[in-house]
Structure 1
Amino acid sequence: MPLIIGFRSFKIHALNTAPRLLRHYSGPLFSDARCSIMHRKVSIDTSPPAARWMKDTLVRSAFHRTVPVIAARLPAAKTGPVLKSEAMRGAIINLPKIRSVVADVEYPDGDDKLVLLRVQHEADLSADARSYLITQNASLTTYNIELGYDYWTADEILHAILPEELLDGSPTGFSSTGHLAHMNLNDEYLPYKHIIGQVILDKNKRLRTVVNKLDSIDSQFRFFKMELLAGEPNYIVEHSESDCRFTFDFSRVYWNSRLQTEHARLADMFQPQELIADVFAGVGPFALPAAKKGCAVLANDLNPESYKYLTLNIKDNKVSDRVRASCEDGREFIRHAAIRVAADPLPGFTGPPLSQSQRRAQSRGQSRELMPPSQLPPRKRIAHFVMNLPDSAITFLDAFRGILAPSSSPSESDIDLGALYDVMPMVHCHCFTREMDREAAERDIRHRVEQELGCVLSSENEVSVHLVRSVAPNKEMYCISFRLPRATALGEVAHYE
């Protein structure tokens, strides 16, 4: 699409997804007085040279281009007015990362500077620009712009390397967690995977490690297996999210950076005085933000590596008094969470955590007026269950059958869970569906949930279905939230068809 600047039209040509791959500018320009009026197409090619012979090893020195342009030699004091002149509008070079005013290397001891112009031949200057430069006593010369590997973007470099039939899709997309970038390369790009990884590493200075997720998933703990493409084999990352700091081994636990919005959405639902049970807590992306706002949390994960880093993150984020971690099967956790916390409650809400300045004041002995309000009674009733294991969380819902039924254990027989739970907990269950129509997706999810619960969800269960994100073609991730049916919790449900 033409980009209109003043009265001249400059057409920008691009190749596929590389927005700066070819910087060509063309438009109506005027000849000087000795020639008839004519239109001359001007092209400044600053694309990287093609290097389609590269496959296994990145050769950075192969990317070099010399671009000669016309420059106006002027006293340094005149360069500012020239850049602002209406007559020079559209005539000054505007390439990314290239200064429009540079030192005059031919006369380093002089007071002159060079103003780089947007043409490669003097005859291509417009009549207005030519006349204005004459009034400024400027002289014209040729200046060579030297472009190297560092000048071009990752997209541009890879479009110069990959075969032309692979240029339609850009393989430069990635998600970053701490110092690590993780990619999901399609099969056709795998022969170039190490070059792709090295280019990504080069062009993103904060990164130290680039990995590619493989198709295989650990069958028990559900984390992706991966291979190193470039950089250090260092998978221990530090990541900040929702005012929390997380440390974990990216190669041994499940973490998805694309779920940050979903983590925050659920945490915003929780009230500070509530008790949350996180069934598949991972390293704490739901549990820790909830605890930071004052919630008490039962955080569980079956993966010993997740549990290890969960306990570390609880300590590092200073919420040990509000989070109780466990490492057991999710189904067992659901079955026993209500009775356990009733028998051994978590501390009551004491107000939001003190700020850093308040903590400093407290350490200086000025804490009397900064102490939180009186502590509320211990928390013994779960308000929310979070089930973030979308591949199979729905199949765990049958574990809720009978969780509030009278216990057969002598030590727990005097606890009347039915009476304690005058308000039933909300359940937030993540899942996948291949139904692309929204109504069909909701019907599919509700049907599967009701089968596991053993009863139909009604309006009193406050059901809502939230689209989290599209995962793949014909596969979407949802979160269904509902208030647990009392009949299910008391074990009074029949078989559901």
Structure 2
Amino acid sequence: MSLFRPPLMRAAAVGEAIVLDRSRFAKTVNLAAAAVADKKQISGWRRKLQQDRSLISAERIPAVVSHPEPALASQGAKCLLLDPKIRPAAPETWTPSLSAGVQAAELGIVPYDLQLNYDYWLYEDVMRSILPAEVRDENDGFPVGFNQAGHVAHLNLRESFLPYRKIIAEVLLDKNASVRTVINKVADVGTESEFRTFAYEVLAGPDDLNVETRENDCVFRFDYSKVYWNSKLESEHRRLVNLFTPGEVVCDVMAGIGPFAVPAGKKGVFVWANDYNPESYRYLAENAKRNKVSQFVRPFNEDGRTFIRRAADLVYEASARGEYALAEGSRKDRRRKPPPHDHNTKSATPPPEPQRTPLPPTISHFVMNLPASSLSFLPSFRGLYFGREALFAPHTATKLPLVHAHCFAGKPENDSDEAPFRDVVERVARGLGVEGLLLGKEGEVEEGAVEVREVRNVAPNKTMYCASFRVPAEVAFAPRTAEEAGGS
């Protein structure tokens, strides 16, 4: 309701200094309050007045307040704030419960001046008050979303908001306790770096982008200016990790600092994790060590196209050597003292043997989280398992790997619009060099079909998708070129 909106501020014209004056957000709201004669009856009267909707109903405003008279407040007298439609000097506005309480001398209806200030208003409230209507539109309104990495809030402001970027950052800093630094991207990701890093300016707080963040029960540390991180993908990271089975092998082709690889390793999944960015590779290794999953997560720093086939070869060779991970039991088990020697028994109970998890010879999943270009990597799957057909069905129970490739496509116009999904399927087919791939059902990855799942909207007409499909046999077992065969 308008009573609880902040005062309207008229920001300075573009080109003039735009300053956040927090004192201008002070506002007095004239209300009525029910003074309860007996303090012990506060709870009872609160229930009665709530039932007949006499009480105030506004976010972040308490129903029970101290009496407006300082002398009575010092004695512990309390009041119940009433709905704004109720006026102290107008009994015709009182509800039956209030009237009955006054007649019984159990209540007194008194004026109450509710003082609101800058601390009360939410970020959205302040933005509506400050930003002029001409810089807003029906789609954006004002900047509300940001990517957060540890203590850093990363904005991506459109041009009309740039004159107000400092004040936007100040308010964002004020209203988010976990944020200490606010930055704004000044170039598209990848424009100045092939590693998906970006140029930025600091809008508020210290220029400190060394962050620590937690996601999916793992701790990640990194320099946000040198690697790619997107907190809005946490649910997508979790979704894919939940598809992996402990003991199987996943190849993460564009692993970044490990948002897929490290939680998967913690689950007991072997991950061959690669990133082309040397800084991402360094932080990937550090984060694997920090989260105690180095037995399962092996970092690499190679071009993804080369790595796809090389990973398949490396996993096969490592499995043939008999490599494994060793589970040493829980920390509680390791700390448990052996029982005292009992001379009446032959020996004390020995500690349990560490459990070995052998490395399988094949990769079960490939993850390709580079939505701008991941589908261009698909030709690298040709000849993935050339000459190793005996590893897979029908010779064994093992199926060919699933690929989860993220990509961009248009936004569906409505719930029945399949055009963007079919576009993704066609691009997957072209990348693999096959025909006849079908659009599969969501939640199912069938032979010869591609499951296309919406991940998130990234722009008004641009959506991120995840295309999941099984590598076709004619692709996996195709002959490699002489150059490819020499590098295997």
Aligned to 2:486: none
Task: Answer whether contact 1:278 1:297 (CA < 8 A) is retained.
Answer: yes
Distance 1:93 1:386, change over 3 A: closer
Paired residues for 1:385-404 under 5 Å: 385-404=366-385
User: How far 1:206 sits from its partner (Å)?
Assistant: 1.9
Could you tell me whether the CA contact under 8 Å between 1:455 and 1:493 is conserved in 2? no
> 1:75 and 1:404, CA in 2 relative to 1: closer, same or farther beyond 3 A?
closer
Counterparts of 1:203 and 1:303, CA distance in 2: 34
Give distance in 1, aligned partners of 2:106 and 2:377. 82
**CA distance in structure 2 between the aligned counterparts of 1:192 and 1:482, rounded to whole angstroms:** 45
Task: Supply the distance in 1 between the matched residues of 2:9 and 2:294 (Cα, whole angstroms).
Answer: 55
Q: Are residue 455 (structure 1) and residue 418 (structure 2) matched? A: no
Matched ranges for 1:216-255 at <5 A: 216-218=188-190, 219-255=193-229
2:10 alignment partner in structure 1: 52
The reply on whether 1:132 has 2:101 as its aligned counterpart is: yes
Q: Deviations over 1:221-277 (max 9, x none)?
A: 123433322223222222222222222222221122222222122222222121111
User: Which residue does 1:123 correspond to in 2?
Assistant: 90
Counterpart residue type for residue 19 of structure 2:
T
CA distance in 2, matches of 1:111, 1:425: 70
Change (3 A) 1:117 1:364: same
Question: What SS does the aligned partner of 2:463 have?
Answer: strand
Q: Classify 1:365/1:434 alpha carbon distance in 2 versus 1 (closer, same or farther; 3 Å).
A: same
Q: Which residue of 1 aligns with 2:28?
A: 66
Flag the 1:142–1:452 CA change in 2: closer, same or farther, 3 A. closer
Query: What is the CA-CA distance between 1:164 and the residue it aligns to?
Result: 3.0
Q: Does the alignment pair 1:432 with 2:404? A: no
More deviation, 308-317/152-161: 152-161
Q: CA deviation at 1:428?
A: 1.8
Deviation at 1:483, TM superposition (A): 2.2
TM-score w.r.t. structure 1 length? 0.79
In the aligned structure 2, how far is the partner of 1:360 from the partner of 1:232? 42
Deviations 1:174-196 (A, max 9, x none): 34332222233232222111111
Distance change >3 Å, CA 117–CA 308, structure 1 → 2: same
Residues 275-306 of structure 1, C-alpha deviation per residue, up to 9 Å, x if partnerless?
Answer: 11111000111111221121111100011111
- 1:197-216 counterparts in 2 under 5 A? 197-216=169-188
- The residue aligned with 2:55 is 92
Q: Within 2, Cα distance between the matches of 1:209 and 1:430?
A: 30
CA RMSD in angstroms, aligned pairs only: 3.0
Normalised TM-score (structure 2): 0.80
In 2, Cα distance between the equivalents of 1:87 and 1:264? 42
Paired letter, 1:53:
A
* Structure 2 residue matching 1:82: 3-state secondary structure: helix
Contact 2:102–2:109, Cα closer than 8 Å, also in 1: no
Unaligned runs of 5+ in 2: 339-348, 394-398, 438-445, 482-488
The partner residue of 2:466 within 468, 479, 491 is 479
Deviations 1:386-423 (Å, cap 9, x if unpaired)?
11111101111112223434xxxxxxxxxx64444554
Compared with structure 1, are the counterparts of its residues 120 and 192 closer, same or farther at alpha carbon in structure 2 (3 Å cutoff)?
Answer: farther
**Structure 1 residue 461: Cα displacement:** 4.3
For the residue of structure 2 that corresponds to 1:150, the secondary structure is: coil
Alignment counterpart, residue 271 of structure 1, candidates 234, 239, 245: 245
- The structural deviation recorded for 1:313 is 0.7
After superposition, the C-alpha distances for 1:331-352 in whole angstroms (9 at most, x for unaligned) are: 121232222232334833667x
